[in-house]
Amino acid sequence: MSITSLILNMLKKIDLIYIRSSFLSVGFLTFQSLARKTIVKIPAIIEDEIADGVIIKSLIKKITSFTDRLVLARAGKVAVNGRPFYYELVRRRSFKHKNDPLEIPPGVNLNLIKSVKDRISEKISPNLSKKHYIAGFLGLITWWQGIDILVKSIAKLKKMNLEKSIKLLLVGDGPERRRIEDLCKELEIDYEITGFVEHEKALEYLSMFDVLVLPRYKISTTESIIPIKVIEAWALGVPVIVTRHKSFLSRNIRDYEDVIYCEPDPSSVTKAILTTLTNEELKRKIRANGLRLAEQFDYNKIAERLLKAFDN
């Protein structure tokens, strides 16, 4: 692909190349004529996402350290989700780009979300109904998402005298699915795991949540990014409970105004869910603020920033 791009560049057909991975950018950065037209987004410090396997983690760290440093040395522009992550990246890789980074947060298609919102139906799953409060998670079922904490929180809520029973809906799949299923059965909670579904179907499920809960552990990945699912929940009017990460604080996302903050601990998450489910005024406030926040992450606005990147 990089050779093809080089040929097209020689024919003056390329103005900008955008790559969302330091590893995938290596071929492009080999050629100086392509490198100076390339924006590379580094979304995470990958080795931090690996929980087990010292040898594998060490190997991945060596590879990603090399590719991240190559990007910082040669790419025309470096893009990150936010400055807190960039500072951590520079510290960990011991290398800094010659220019300030571009802050390119995750983007959402608000037109798609509006169309999903307009046609939403309660017939997605026969097991779901308004007889339940639906506390949900959407995304990759992996260790750092804190889904085990969410399961334990639902078990605590099950013992409380709620107006309706509570159901846990996990939209997604991943390496921790079996462990989470076993924990749900052990704690005897009402749960459903959809497995991987297409994006529009995931949005339909998300729109049915009474609350989206993300009690993620604090690692470089979670501290550096506002997940797309949070932005989509804002656009759909779904209240969000999330760990108090730097990525939210740096953007002045307010507690009890825009989201409900929690700590990655079952007691903290239980309290946050209970507060959200039982406080109608709070839910109205968060829903009202959600669309305003989501509009800041519209794909069109982010695309405009990318296109202007080399004009400065």
pLDDT at position 309: 62
User: How far apart (Å, rounded) are the C-alpha atoms in residues 141 and 123?
Assistant: 25
Residues 30 and 163 in one domain: no
CATH of the domain at 160: 3.40.50.2000
Who's near 44: CB < 8 A, 6+ residues apart? 220, 221, 224, 225
Distance (Å, rounded) from C-alpha 40 to C-alpha 23? 10
Q: Which of 82, 104, 126 is the last residue of a domain?
A: 104
The per-residue DSSP string of the chain comes to: -HHHHHHHHHTT--S-EEES-TGGGHHHHTSHHHHTTEEEE----GGGG--S-HHHHHHHHHHHHHHHHHHHHH-SEEEES-HHHHHHHHHHHT---SSPPEE----B-HHHHHHHHHH--S-S-TT--TTEEEEEEES---GGG-HHHHHHHHHHHHTS--SSEEEEEEEB--TTHHHHHHHHHHTT--EEE-BS--HHHHHHHHHH-SEEEE----SHHHHH---HHHHHHHHHT--EEEE--HHHHTTTPPBTTTBEEE-SSHHHHHHHHHHHHH-HHHHHHHHHHHHHHHHTTBHHHHHHHHHTTTT-
Q: Which of 39, 73, 104 is the last residue of a domain?
A: 104
Domain that residue 239 falls in: 110-295
Q: Does any domain span residue 171? A: yes
Residue 310 located in a structural domain = no
Q: Do 193 and 59 share a structural domain?
A: no
115 and 96 in a single domain? The answer is no
- Low-confidence stretches of the chain (pLDDT < 70) are 1-13, 121-129, 306, 309-312
Asked if 66 and 133 sit in the same domain, the reply is no
Q: Is the same domain home to 66 and 154?
A: no
Same domain, 92 and 116: no
Number of domains in the chain: 2
Is 301 domain-assigned? no
216-244 confidence digits (pLDDT tens): 999 988 988 899 999 999 999 999 999 99
- Predicted local confidence at residue 105, as pLDDT: 83
What is the pLDDT, as a whole number, of residue 282?
94
What does the CA dihedral 69, 70, 72, 78 come to, rounded to 10 degrees?
A: -120
Same domain, 175 and 269: yes
CA pair distance 33, 126, nearest whole angstrom = 56
Where a domain ends, among 73, 104, 135?
104
The pLDDT score that the predictor gives to residue 177 is 97
Same domain, 158 and 265: yes
Do residues 82 and 126 both lie within one domain? no
Question: Is the domain of 122 the same as that of 100?
Answer: no
Does 309 map to a domain?
no
307 domain residue, yes or no = no
Kindly state whether residue 312 falls inside one of the protein's structural domains. no
Report the pLDDT value the prediction gives residue 53, as an integer from 0 to 100: 73
